[in-house]
Amino acid sequence: MTRYEPAIDLDAVRAIDVHVHIEVDDHGRTSLPPDLAEAASAYFSADVERPDLDAFAQYYRDRRMAAVVFTVDAETALGHAPLSSEEIAAGATRNNDVLVPFGSVDPRKGRAAVDHARRLVEEHGVRGFKFHPTVQGFDPSDEAWFPLYATLQDAGVVALFHTGQTGIGAGMRGGRGFRLALSNPMLLDTVAAEFPDLQIIMAHPSVPWQDEAISVATHKHNTWIDLSGWSPKYFPPQLVRAAGSFLKRRVLFGSDFPLLTPDRWLRDVEQTDLKPEAMPGILKDNAARLLGLA
């Protein structure tokens, strides 16, 4: 077993995409059960291509970009075995010139999740963890998860949380039981306050709670916002203002590939009022600093 170590030449890459989903593994297993995958394709009006990890690496290599890759472990809520974070880390190690691995653990597994997170960091070298409170079915502000956050803080890795609405479960009966309120970024204010050295990414424009996300990021400087999951031309105006000014050092480029491509993101950002002087930080420099690559 080889532990991940990055070999990304920052001078050679033009951007770091901090939000890339691995949705199928080398064995043909998928990250979502069939009903959710089908509903997601309908929601996004497309049969989304789901390349394997090595294909992801080549995709980003061809674009002179690096990417953070992960899955979501929601086994308790979905009754569906997750993709292996260990295998994702191994794939990133094979492609460490362009990929950075994040792990995922299911907080509802309690002590097992804490132990798994520690192994993923110590043995496999993951640089962060992805959480999706709505899909995983947990309130991130609950003290039950504090031992997990403490482990991540002590390890010096990043915690990336989905925020805002989600296309997962959209249109299904009762939204398949998923609760949008669990992804209100204000719940992360508690986490940021209790764990001031844990670097927290609030993923996506946090619709309908964009002002809450900006408020948290303004008050808690261990929080960041990634711009994934939406075409930039649909970004709320207050997010564009913040990203181009007082939050410009803690805003990150993310696509949400394969649901949204980095090519479209970069094309559509030209239609926004994001200040050109903020773009080098958003596209690469902020992520390089956060991930310890600079």
pLDDT (tens digit per residue) in 205-245: 999 999 999 999 999 999 999 999 999 999 999 999 999 99
What is the rounded distance in angstroms from the CA atom of residue 166 to the CA atom of residue 149? 23
pLDDT recorded at residue 212: 98
Pairing of strands 223-226, 200-203: parallel
SS3 49: coil
What is the rounded distance in angstroms from the CA atom of residue 285 to the CA atom of residue 1? 31
Q: What is the domain partition of the chain in residue ranges? A: 15-290
Query: In this structure, are residues 13 and 68 in contact, taking their beta carbons and an 8 Å threshold?
Result: no
Would you state the structure tokens that stand for residue 226, as one six-digit string? 């990634």
Would you state the structure tokens that stand for residue 39, as one six-digit string? 């509903």
Would you state the structure tokens that stand for residue 203, as one six-digit string? 């993923």
pTM of the model: 0.96
Would you state the structure tokens that stand for residue 235, as one six-digit string? 């970004």
Average pLDDT over residues 27-53: 78
**For residue 47, pLDDT beyond 60:** no
Of 18, 3, 27, 50, nearest to 258 by C-alpha is 50
pLDDT 10s digits, 109-123: 999 999 999 999 999
Of 252, 164, 272, nearest to 210 by C-alpha is 164
pLDDT 10s digits, 168-184: 999 999 999 999 999 99
Query: In this structure, are residues 265 and 232 in contact, taking their beta carbons and an 8 Å threshold?
Result: yes
Domain 15-290 has CATH 3.40.640.10: no
What mean pLDDT value characterizes the chain? 95
Q: In what order do the strands lie in the sheet with 15-21?
A: 15-21, 65-70, 99-101
Average pLDDT over residues 276-293: 97
